[in-house]
Amino acid sequence: MPTVDLDIPPRSAYVAVVRLVVSSLARSAGLQETAVDDLKIAVSEACANAVMSNEEAGTQDPVSIAWHADDDKVEVQVGDRGKIYGSVGAAADERASDRLSMSMALLDSLVDEFSYEPRPDGGMLTRLVVRR
């Protein structure tokens, strides 16, 4: 399956569009319905984090979503242009840290693998993997 790239405005209303796209792509890739639902929730969480990160940084840069599926796995990457999240870089206030901890626990329960990585050109990249 080819790679699919999508950029959305950094607004929460557009997260629903991403959920629909991911659901369709996941079904087309042959994932079982429970895996489709879990991936959809995980991508929604990653997009919500990216939108909030952009808002906090005061940037209107788009949130980027990249989909790739191969024989072994489905991978979705969600990128923002906000600040580096507290647990992987710069210090965060307590509320942001609590939110990130809850988000990490949710992602850990929904996908086989995830990571937060600083982007070389600024912002963060959330990588989500579901193994087939």
Residue 97 confidence (pLDDT): 67
In percent, how much of the chain has pLDDT > 70?
Answer: 89
Query: For 48-123, where are the E strands, in sequence order?
Result: 63-69, 73-79, 113-118
Containing domain of residue 22, as a range? 4-131
Lowest mean pLDDT among 3-12, 19-28, 49-58, 108-117: 49-58
pLDDT-derived band at 1 (thresholds 50, 70, 90) equals: low
* CATH classification of the domain holding 86: 3.30.565.10
Residue carrying structure tokens 């895996």: 35
**What is the pTM (predicted TM-score) of this model?**
0.88
Residue 83 or residue 130, greater confidence: 130
Contact indicator for 50, 126 with CB cutoff of 8 Å = yes
Q: How many domains does the chain have?
A: 1
Residue 92 or residue 70, greater confidence: 70
In percent, how much of the chain has pLDDT > 90?
Answer: 70
Determine the average pLDDT of the residues in 112-120: 92
